[in-house]
Chain A
């Protein structure tokens, strides 16, 4: 495990430059404070934090607002990360949209984190996903064309449990969809093609 830090951002170049020049990475609470949390951090909560006003007063001049959130991500090997999104909209719209997009953002945050982690040489072993017997079994039945309710009946588990195993298997395989997970699992010889 190395102690390197990776950052990927798609903010405007002018803001990135200003951000680094000012050394905002050292005081920005959306990085330091939010990354250590367990739950999602809505930036509203960080307003009293030191550094918030300083960073976001400048950010406003670059057209970046403070309506955003940070999703902390923890990996199995002591690695951690944070995925932040910001949206220029009214508070009302933000509060309406947030519950709709939050699940998707969690999945993408974890997926994004894993991709970055897998690039490092020291994390090479992470490329071998550690699926449980149950997760493989569920994927194998998906590959055999069974629906989730069918698989629940076959394995005598609830449909919800099938879904939880499938979701876990997808994420371990770094796949965003079940089809992609099945393709990868066959490619890695975790399950058989049928």
Chain B
């Protein structure tokens, strides 16, 4: 599922954004060794202060597993101001219908590397690409320029989402190389990625449902405790009602099975009986 967070709805998704900055720190800082600033386990740069649009991938448990950031090329953006070496001294492309996409990443720790099914890196990657292309189209955007490393370039090609061209040169950036790729936001491209990943339906999450589902995740713990309380009550009754040794043994075995390691507590219940 995909969620778009921007200036209008960010107050509703502060926790999601925080998870996203942590994911970026793990991927770009720890795994890829990019020259990024990380503080308190979060990777945040000056472009995050410009209210970019974040296209965020979520797993079935509504947790952040992928993200990418969109900025207008008419304004300040990474290729113009940070990755300008790629442009070899040339001014950047600037167009109202061209967006820049940066910080594309997926959580390879939480997803499986093999296959293309749900829960796989490939699936999350494709879903995020579809989400960002469709979201851009909705804003009237015709093309995306994206700053990527050679690994991401291969991922794009493998997902039937090969760039239509490259701008400037491939240059060394810290431990890795960086290049700028052009991708048209055409229906044909979206259809190709959808076909590759076998994704047919709407990829965007219903925002209201999402907010409610996330809110329910913590009380889940409480409802578990209530359930556990009910179970203990039931087991205690079973032990209390036991009229012979067999029944008591059965009740104790059930208690041990249900409560597992809490055997100590079971025994004290039994003693009470």
Interface residues of A (CB under 8 A from B): 33-34, 36-41, 45-46, 49, 72-76, 78, 80, 99, 102-107, 109-110, 130-135, 157-158, 160-161, 164-165, 167-168, 171-172
Contact = CB atoms under 8 A, between A and B. Distances in A.
Interface string B69-82: 01111111000100
Nearest to B51: A36
Contact of B53 (A39, A46, A109, A158): A39
Interface residues of B, number: 41
Contacts of A99: 137-138
B182 interface: yes
Interface of B: 4, 6-9, 50-53, 70-76, 80, 87, 90-99, 135, 137-143, 164-165, 167, 182, 184
Contacts of B70: 38-39
Nearest to A160: B164
Contacts of A160: 143, 164-165, 182, 184
A161 B8 contact: no
B90 A161 contact: no
A109 B90 contact: no
B95 A167 contact: yes
B139 A76 contact: no
A168 B76 contact: no
A39 B6 contact: yes
A112 B4 CA distance: 28
A161 B165 contact: yes
A168 B93 contact: yes
Contacts of B140: 40, 102-106
B71 A164 contact: no
B8 A76 contact: no
A47 to B, nearest CB: 11
Given A38-B53, A103-B142, A164 B182 contact: yes
27 contacts: A33-B8, A34-B8, A37-B8, A38-B6, A38-B71, A38-B99, A40-B140, A46-B8, A72-B72, A73-B74, A74-B75, A102-B138, A102-B139, A103-B97, A105-B140, A106-B97, A107-B96, A110-B96, A132-B87, A132-B92, A132-B93, A158-B165, A160-B143, A167-B95, A167-B142, A168-B95, A171-B95
Given A33-B8, A73-B74, A74-B76, A131 B184 contact: no
A80 B96 contact: no
Nearest to B97: A106
Contacts of B138: 39-40, 99, 102
A135 B91 CA distance: 10
B9 A45 contact: yes
Contacts of B4: 39
Contacts of B80: 76
Contact of B135 (A39, A73, A164): A39
Q: Which of B52, B74, B75, B142 has the most CB of A within 10 A?
A: B74
The DSSP consensus for interface residues of chain A is helix
B53 A73 contact: no
A74 B164 contact: no
Nearest to B91: A130
Contacts of A135: 93
A94 B137 CA distance: 16
Given A45-B9, A110-B96, A161-B164, A38 B91 contact: no
A185 to B, nearest CB: 15
A1 B87 CA distance: 26
B141 to A, nearest CB: 8
Contacts of B74: 73-76, 110, 171
Contact of B90 (A75, A104, A134): A134
Contact of A74 (B8, B72, B165, B184): B72
Sort A-B residue pairs by CB-CB distance and give the 7 closest, nearest first.
Answer: A74-B75, A102-B140, A110-B96, A161-B165, A132-B90, A168-B93, A37-B7
Contact of B95 (A36, A37, A164): A164
Nearest to B96: A110
Contacts of A106: 96-97, 139-141
Contact of A78 (B76, B139, B182): B76
B267 to A, nearest CB: 55
B52 A38 contact: yes
